[in-house]
Amino acid sequence: MAFTDHDSDLAREVREFVTRGFVPHYGQLSERFPANATWRRMRELGSQLWLDTGDIEEVDALWTGEMTALTTNNTLLNREVQKGIYDELIVEASGLVDSHPRLTERQRKLELAFILNARHGLRLVEKFDARVSVEEHTDLADSLDEAVNYGRRFHAVCPQRFIVKVPMTPAGVLAARRLGAEGIPVNQTLGFSARQNYVSASIAAPAFVNVFLGRLNSFVADNGLGDGRNVGERATLASQAAVAPLRGQAGLKTRQIAASIRGGEQIRDLAGVDVYTMPPKAAREFLDLHLRARDLTDMTSAKLDVRLRDGVDGRAIRLDTLWDVDQGLKACVEKLRGERLDEFQPGQLAKFFADNGCGDVFVDWSDSQVRTSAEEGKIPRLENWRELLAKGRIGLDSLMNLAGLNSFRGDQEKMDHRVREVAAAVGR
């Protein structure tokens, strides 16, 4: 049995280490935080309000009684680690991990990242009594068994408040299915389209799915295809419309998150979406609009116009993959339900989609394509992908998913590097 199995000696020691001194206040803090009529109206329209930050001071300045959760990710946690506030913890955690000499360097890296994620999440739970979405290490994005294992371990640390973030990859979808079957709430992250989230909700039934809407707007604007307005918003509303009817099926309760919000107007224009994950800047901008309760109405049925530059063919760049869930995909998912899905491995899932005419959902990326994406950053450069998009070999949503995962990997590597440096300095 591997040292990192959820019921191993090391896992128990790490759980005891990260929860040491943790004093929760479940259900006892709501009256300590101010109320806000504008946020209350958003709640009345059906939206859960989450802040998208790991910075405790920022949360403290904005948190109200209407807010319910906080979400962190590799990028946000890296910012906190780079401040040096966890250096002492890193040193102590390294000692614990090093007391198990049979660990490989990779296992050691995963353990230290887990400790940092779990401890930071517990600090947020303790101070705000919030649910906290904690993210798995990016090394686990394609590793089904490890993703399930670490998901169980996060849940064991704080079953009352932790939500486990797992990326929208073949391994991540199957991991979400297994974890959800055990009652572990999963946030299926790095979603960019209605069809991706239809797939996830249909076969994995996570607690939450996402559309990273701000990045979609940036793709259109940065590549000179149009002004970018409403691209991500339209995809978010389409995704909610695709996911919501599935809740009538036994056991499915998936909620839609509007993620990667860039400004306060987007919060207003998406009123009624199940969940917002709001960066502090966007939350402040929304409040600065000084909206009255009667100014806010349910926008989930809104028809949003996406304006492209003259001569731009939206279908050639696969914009349709962001908001259309076609009958071919629905047929593929329905056929998949007849398979022994709980026995599937990630490669089998991707092959099933490819064999049933949906190979652009889970793309088998080449090493050179992964490198190109990593070099581009969060927003792909269209000239590198135009031909593949035009031929239908990839979807715009799958391309954005690859870019997002590579971006998170870059920030994860920076955090891992900082951890190694701090731990190594002790021995000098």
Residue located via tokens 């517990």: 122
Say if CB 50 and CB 69 are below 8 A apart. yes
Question: Residue 123 and residue 115: Cα distance in Å, rounded?
Answer: 12
What the block records as the tokens of 294 is: 């009667």
Chain-centroid distance of CA 16 in Å reads 27
Question: Residue 120 and residue 384: Cα distance in Å, rounded?
Answer: 38
- Residue of 170, 200, 166 whose CA lies nearest to 184: 166
pLDDT at 388: 98
Q: Residue 265: is it exposed, middle or buried by C-beta count within 10 angstroms (0-12/13-18/19+)?
A: middle
Chain-centroid distance of CA 266 in Å reads 19
DSSP 8-state assignment for residue 301 = T
Question: Residue 284 and residue 286: Cα distance in Å, rounded?
Answer: 5
pLDDT at 30: 85
Say if CB 360 and CB 321 are below 8 A apart. yes
Domains and CATH numbers, the chain: 9-303+311-426 (3.20.20.70)
pTM, two decimal places? 0.96
For residue 322, the surrounding DSSP H or E stretch is helix 320-323
- Please list the residues that pair with 167 across neighbouring strands: 189
pLDDT at 3: 47
Per-residue pLDDT tens listing for the chain (428 residues): 344 576 689 999 999 999 999 999 999 998 899 999 999 999 999 999 999 999 999 999 999 999 999 998 888 999 999 999 999 999 999 999 999 999 999 999 999 999 999 999 999 999 999 999 999 999 999 999 999 999 999 999 999 999 999 999 999 999 999 999 999 999 999 999 999 999 999 999 999 999 999 999 999 999 999 999 999 999 999 999 999 999 877 678 999 999 999 999 999 999 999 999 999 999 999 999 999 999 999 999 999 999 999 999 999 999 999 999 999 999 999 999 999 999 999 999 999 999 999 999 999 999 999 999 999 999 999 999 999 999 999 999 999 999 999 999 999 999 999 999 999 987 64
Say if CB 123 and CB 80 are below 8 A apart. no
What the block records as the tokens of 269 is: 């224009």
What the block records as the tokens of 380 is: 């792909």
